[in-house]
Structure 1
Amino acid sequence: MTSSVLLDLAVIALLATVFWAMPALTRPTLPFGVRVPAARIAESAIVRAHHRYARGVLVAGTFAFVLVAFASAGLRWESAAAFAVPVLAAACCGLGYLAHRTVAAAKRSGDWYSGTRQAVATDTSLRTDPVRPQWIFLAPAAVLFGITAAIGAWRYGELPATLPTPNGVIVDVARRSETTVGHAFATVIAQLLITVLVGLLGIALPRARPELDAAQPAASAARYRVYLAGVLRLLFGTAGCVTASLLVASLEVWEIVPATTGVTVVSYLPLAVALVAWVAFTFRVGDAGHRLPSEEEDSSRVQRDDDRYWHLAGQVYVNRGDPALLVHRRAGVAWTLNLGHPISWAILAALAAVVALAGFGVVELPSRGR
């Protein structure tokens, strides 16, 4: 079994594990993207939905794993993983949506919010004394970008007429392209874009609406501060890991080091470190910091039922009455745009314009293998 097949199998196993573990990492009051009172988190409908989802993911993951193993080793179907990965992801998303529908139906039929006192919580100190990004953690990404750019400028005049083709952090030595500034410095441009994008996120995320719980307003605010500070540090550190991997890829493109399997493994090591750090952080802190220890608190209220603003199993948020542009998603360490905010549509329109211009050949977007 070749190293590429082993890598494909590892990707399948990792993807299935992530989907299987995701419901356990979300807040207990948001099972499969449905807002429920804390007193209802042990309802039989929720328990059954968790069990069915877990079994379904295990079956889908096992099927995809066996398909890739047999197709790659026995049938010599090299594109098996390219087919199995999106199908597995789509199947797991479908299982999650079915679980969402099950919990939502049980919530409606049982009228779980009957007799509760609904409320929302806010923490004005997050505006007057916001979580400040520790920009020093972004310094490695900026330094590595500068080092890579300097090496590229020194090497550019001696480059051959054609260069190996970068594909992410993997360099295809069998496919060579004409040496141009855009091709030679593609990995450097990627480093710059990643560093700038992460820097912009460092500015935007502390200004996003905080994710607080009306049942535990003070405790959830304290947890959210710790959570947000950790996310920002990890984002900055991940930018450094990605730029480190791209530095190794740049050396391969410029033929300073050979594009061998060993060098490719080295280029993936920083990404592996970042992945392990994110997994450890997610398991320790939880979604929006709900796993962090805090003092017991009970305000005798429950978080307002806002399911009507969330769509696609809690992935899409649309609320014209909410002034927030960025809100925390109901699952995962991620934020999303409030599609009820006019600026969100301006951002999406700008992206659509770029895609349209690229389709007509007016602008040129990076493509696979270039």
Structure 2
Amino acid sequence: MSTTAVLIQAVIGLLLLAAAWLTPSFTLATLPFGVRVPSERVQEPVVTEQRRAYRWWIALAGSTVLAAGTAWGLGTDATAAAPVTLVAVLTVQLAGYLRAHRAIAAVKQREEWFGGLRQGVAADTSLRTDPARFPWPWALPAVLLTLGTAVAGVVRYPSMPAQLAMHFNGPGQADRLAAKSVGTAFAPVFAQLGTTLLLLLVSWLSFRARPELDPARVKVTADQHRRFLARMARCLMALTFAADLTIALFGWRIWDGARALSPLPLMLPVALALAVVLVVALRSGQHGSRIPVAEPAEPADSADSAGTAPALVHRDDDRYWRLGGLFYLNRADSAAFVPKRFGVGWTINLGSPYGMLFVALTIALAVGLPLLTH
């Protein structure tokens, strides 16, 4: 592999490891490694121990795997070195997460942490009557860039070479050519269109996802949810623009007849956008839990009513989360998207028809776009 390709592999691997190491810092205290726990149990020894063990595992095992993969890429011409190394890094992260999840879940079940607690689900009707507004103006740069690339393609189509490079290997050399046609010449535009529509759809649907509200702090967590939606939507729009910019740079080089590309400058916009997303996610916390919001004033008679009923805690819903809290399947839940248990963002309810429809559309888009270039 070329030195540039190995450098990209190493940078992506380091970003993955950094994100994994930092994730416990902005995950909700009541959801350590995807396990729902009562607020009074967040400082249990097993939680603290597994958080520390997970970070040591990510630092040592992850860096070892990344170093070995980088050495493999520098010492050979194997194009498989980069994808295999990154998959190995992700596998290390998954193994560390699952080990921590199982350890905490086992202690929780053995000691019956939710035993005797009053469980419930909270709702804030204002999220429906006065929903958060989607920041549509932030989508304008990506849309205009896609339109601009399409216009540039139309203008340059007559002067494009008869054979266009459609795929590049790890070192950046063209390894597949195709005759010029509408499908091959405008493949970058189709890719931009698909990327823009998909990320816009994900951002828009996130505003209709079920919020993660704390029954003991409904108003505060609802306000945090609103602000978090706005922040993450803007981040996704910035990421969409960065991805479209990378695709545009890639397309313009193809239209010039380039048979070799340096991948590093092409990937720079996406790398910078991902770094911004990571910083915003860290500052916001999971579901916006670190966003400062003014606490509502307690009613005057709160002291008199205190102690009349046990405090309400979030329902223990671990049974709906499969494979260590990575996948959500609840046919009784009408929401197509729900907050993730570990990390920032949303995941699909595999028990919802609308969730499965989104999965089918995503697969169709991934399969259909390459077919347009043939």
Superposition TM-score, scaled by structure 1 size: 0.88
* Mapped partners of 1:349, 1:139: distance in 2: 27
Q: Please, which runs of 5 or more residues in structure 2 have no aligned partner?
A: 299-309
In terms of mean alpha carbon deviation, does 14-23 or 210-219 score higher? Answer: 14-23
Query: Matched residue pairs, number?
Result: 360
Q: Please, which runs of 5 or more residues in structure 1 have no aligned partner?
A: none
Which of 289, 314, 335 is the aligned partner of 2:346?
335
Do the aligned partners of residues 319 and 75 (structure 1) sit closer, same or farther apart at CA in structure 2, a change above 3 Å counting? closer
The question of 1:243 aligning with 2:226 is answered no
Q: CA offsets, 1:8-45, max 9 Å, x none?
A: 22222222222222222211110010000111111001
CA drift of 1:230 comes to 0.8
CA drift of 1:168 comes to 11
Partner of 1:186: 187
* Mapped partners of 2:333, 2:284: distance in 1: 27
The question of 1:344 aligning with 2:343 is answered no
* Mapped partners of 1:303, 1:23: distance in 2: 20
CA drift of 1:157 comes to 1.2
In terms of mean alpha carbon deviation, does 264-273 or 240-249 score higher? Answer: 264-273
Q: How does 1:311-322 map to 2 (within 5 A)?
A: 311-322=322-333
Give the number of the structure with larger relative contact order, counting CA–CA contacts within 8 Å between residues 6 or more apart.
Answer: 2
Partner of 2:336: 325
The answer to whether the 8 Å contact 2:327/2:347 transfers is yes
Which runs of 4 or more aligned residues in structure 1 lie more than 6 Å from their structure 2 counterparts after TM superposition? Answer: 168-171
Q: How does 1:169-180 map to 2 (within 5 A)?
A: 172-173=173-174, 175-180=176-181
In terms of mean alpha carbon deviation, does 296-305 or 86-95 score higher? Answer: 296-305
* Mapped partners of 1:270, 1:7: distance in 2: 13
Partner of 2:153: 152
The answer to whether the 8 Å contact 2:169/2:175 transfers is no
* Mapped partners of 1:191, 1:290: distance in 2: 33
The answer to whether the 8 Å contact 1:171/1:253 transfers is no
CA drift of 1:174 comes to 5.5
In terms of mean alpha carbon deviation, does 66-75 or 19-28 score higher? Answer: 66-75
Paired residue type of 1:272: A
CA drift of 1:255 comes to 0.6
Partner of 2:307: none
RMSD: 2.8
In terms of mean alpha carbon deviation, does 59-68 or 146-155 score higher? Answer: 59-68
Partner of 1:279: 278
Partner of 1:300: 311
Do the aligned partners of residues 245 and 168 (structure 1) sit closer, same or farther apart at CA in structure 2, a change above 3 Å counting? farther
CA drift of 1:169 comes to 12
Partner of 1:22: 23
- SS of match in other structure, 2:338: strand
* Mapped partners of 2:12, 2:39: distance in 1: 35
- SS of match in other structure, 1:54: helix
CA drift of 1:339 comes to 2.1
The question of 1:366 aligning with 2:370 is answered yes
* Mapped partners of 2:68, 2:265: distance in 1: 29
* Mapped partners of 2:196, 2:333: distance in 1: 30
The answer to whether the 8 Å contact 1:166/1:253 transfers is no
CA drift of 1:77 comes to 5.0
* Mapped partners of 2:104, 2:319: distance in 1: 15
Identity between Structure 1 and Structure 2 (%): 36
Partner of 2:255: 254
Superposition TM-score, scaled by structure 2 size: 0.87
The answer to whether the 8 Å contact 1:327/1:338 transfers is yes
In terms of mean alpha carbon deviation, does 32-41 or 91-100 score higher? Answer: 91-100
